Amino acid sequence: MESKERIRFDNVSMQYQTPGGLLEVVKQMSFSVNQGDFISLVGPSGCGKTTLLNMAAGFLKPSSGVVTLDGTPIEGPGPDRGVMFQEYGVFPWLTVEQNIAFGLNLKANGGRSTQEKQAIIDRYLELMGLSSFRRAYPKTLSGGMRQRLALARTYAVHPEFVLMDEPFGALDAQTRSAMHDLLLEVLHAEGKTVLLITHSVEEAVYLSNKVLVISARPSRIQEVIDIPFPYPRAHSLQETPEFNTLRSRIHNLVMREYAAQEAQAATKMAG
Ligand SMILES: Nc1ncnc2c1ncn2[C@@H]1O[C@H](COP(=O)(O)OP(=O)(O)OP(=O)(O)O)[C@@H](O)[C@H]1O
């Protein structure tokens, strides 16, 4: 059964004004994000993935076309959409606990009593294994712990949508893998809808129910690949032939687009 459409990119194009002229980044792209989807965007560097995420977040408007949420054009950011960027997105001047509390104390997320807020903070401290570091400052934490704190901050305000731009890129393989499972656990418990940008095809296949391969610029959707594995998922999935078949299929598609983008860049240099 197809679930309800929530976010829709409808014939979206984006051009940026650059010193070298108008750069056509996204071209007439249409796709939907349904309730409960975990969609990964993969594609060559500079193909416009962050641009698309920023449109869903409400930080950017398309040059033409429209991005809607439940049928209404997105006009700006909102507490229903939690955004997590590559940089960890934690405030160095606040303690772990204050970082998690930050979003909860914003007016847009108002309406909760002090006890309710404390219960949410305690729950995420516990879930992310940060309880004994509640009064620590981010600089005293490891990369993985800072990443968990960033996730806790994003989740604490209970956004319906989690929009993530390469959130695990800087982590070592083990921490990354632990973060994947933690993410799947929280999503399973709280039923969120996710858009993730990643350069790791493996990560995309392991986490998503759908992978969008974005083409070289001007970008279109090259292919939408359904990932049929049921949730909850376990690491052993990554050892199966089915997983590897999908991984190499998507990898080949992405490599082709990387090559196309490189060729474009080379032509430009030569011209
Ligand atoms: N505000 C801007 N002004 C001009 N050009 C921009 C602007 N923002 C992005 N670009 C350009 O648009 C293209 C797409 O950028 P975007 O960050 O969306 O790509 P991306 O697919 O997320 O890249 P990466 O995988 O490297 O993070 C890039 O060539 C970038 O330099």
Residue ranges of the domains in the chain?
Answer: 1-80+159-260, 90-158
Atom of ligand 1 nearest to the CA of 86: 27
Q: Tell me the CA end-to-end span of the chain in Å, nearest whole number.
A: 51
More confident residue, 81 or 157: 81
Amino acid at 83: V
What strands lie across the sheet with 64-69, from one edge to the other? 21-34, 5-18, 64-69, 72-73
Q: Can you tell me the mean pLDDT for 40-56?
A: 95
Give pLDDT, residue 87.
60
Give pLDDT, residue 51.
96
Is the beta carbon of 138 within 6 A of some atom in ligand 1? no
CA distances, 251 to each of 101, 106, 234 (Å): 40, 41, 21
Atom of ligand 1 nearest to the CA of 197: 22
Is the beta carbon of 46 within 6 A of some atom in ligand 1? yes
Name every residue whose Cβ is closer than 8 Å to that of residue 159 and which is 6 or more positions away in sequence.
Answer: 79, 80, 81, 82, 192
Closest CA to ligand 1's atom 23: 46
Is the beta carbon of 77 within 6 A of some atom in ligand 1? no
Closest CA to ligand 1's atom 4: 16
Our mutation pick for probing the ligand 1 site, out of 17, 50, 52, counting the most ligand atoms within 8 A of Cβ, is: 50
Q: CA 137, CA 143: separation in Å to the nearest integer?
A: 13
Q: CA 251, CA 269: separation in Å to the nearest integer?
A: 27
Is the beta carbon of 45 within 6 A of some atom in ligand 1? yes
Name every residue whose Cβ is closer than 8 Å to that of residue 145 and which is 6 or more positions away in sequence.
Answer: 129, 130, 133
Q: CA 128, CA 145: separation in Å to the nearest integer?
A: 8
Q: CA 22, CA 248: separation in Å to the nearest integer?
A: 35
Compute the distance from residue 49 Cα to the ligand 1 centre, in Å. Answer: 8
Architecture of domain 1-80+159-260: 3-Layer(aba) Sandwich (3.40)
Give pLDDT, residue 155.
85
Give pLDDT, residue 98.
95
Instruction: Give residue-wise pLDDT tens across range 200-239.
Output: 999 999 999 999 999 998 999 999 999 999 999 999 999 9
Name every residue whose Cβ is closer than 8 Å to that of residue 194 and which is 6 or more positions away in sequence.
Answer: 37, 38, 39, 161, 162, 163, 164, 187, 207
Closest CA to ligand 1's atom 18: 48
Q: Can you tell me the mean pLDDT for 127-146?
A: 91
